[in-house]
Amino acid sequence: MQVYVEKPKCTGCAHCFDVCPVAVFEMKDRSSPDANNDVAPDNEKWKGQTLPDVKAKWENVQDGHNHFHEKYEGGSGGLSVAVQGSACILCQACLIECEGECIVITDDTNNVYRSVYK
Ligand code: SF4
Ligand code: SF4
């Protein structure tokens, strides 16, 4: 299994980190040298910019999460990095919880699963 996060869409809500039963995700500060430590293709790596439409949709939502904050503050903020995609068991919990709709999973026979927020 391969898992990556499309970083320009990640709000930092940390839902993926919270729901994944096998610790595929870690939250990193946006300026961390580890912010791109998953298998995201080059155009989906973190280069310091969030997609404007994602930011407009979430930046003023008051749901108890820090959106687009530089640092992970223990509950939200920062960016999600799929550091251990090989552990994924395809439970799909993250795929329905991802605010940014930015998680991509490819299984061993090349089926691709993308997150759609519930
Ligand atoms: S689908 Fe994979 S990455 Fe997502 S929550 Fe389940 S085990 Fe974790
Ligand atoms: S659930 Fe999606 S938007 Fe939220 S931190 Fe994880 S990858 Fe980013």
Question: 81-102: per-residue pLDDT in tens?
Answer: 999 999 999 999 999 999 999 9
Which atom number of ligand 2 is nearest to the Cα of residue 27? 5
Ligand 2, pocket-test mutation among 36, 46, 103, most atoms within 8 A of CB: 103
* Distance of alpha carbon 14 from alpha carbon 57, whole angstroms: 17
In this prediction, residue 118 carries a pLDDT of 77
In this prediction, residue 99 carries a pLDDT of 96
* Distance of alpha carbon 34 from alpha carbon 30, whole angstroms: 9
**CB-CB contact of 115 with 39 (8 Å):** no
Give the up-direction half-sphere exposure of residue 69: CA atoms within 13 A in the CB hemisphere. 15
End-to-end CA distance of the chain: 23
- Tokens standing for 35? 């912010």
The model's pTM is 0.97
Mean pLDDT over the full length of the chain: 97
Range 5-15 average pLDDT: 98
* Distance of alpha carbon 37 from alpha carbon 105, whole angstroms: 15
In this prediction, residue 103 carries a pLDDT of 98
DSSP label at residue 63: S
Residue 113 bridge partners (DSSP):
105
Range 34-44 average pLDDT: 97
In this prediction, residue 20 carries a pLDDT of 98
- Tokens standing for 44? 């989906």
Q: How far is CA 22 from the centre of its chain?
A: 15
Residue 2 bridge partners (DSSP):
106
Ligand 1, pocket-test mutation among 91, 95, 107, 114, most atoms within 8 A of CB: 91
* Percent of the chain topping pLDDT 70: 100
Query: Tell me: the pLDDT tens digits for 11-32?
Result: 999 999 999 999 999 999 999 9
* Distance of alpha carbon 17 from alpha carbon 81, whole angstroms: 9
In this prediction, residue 21 carries a pLDDT of 98
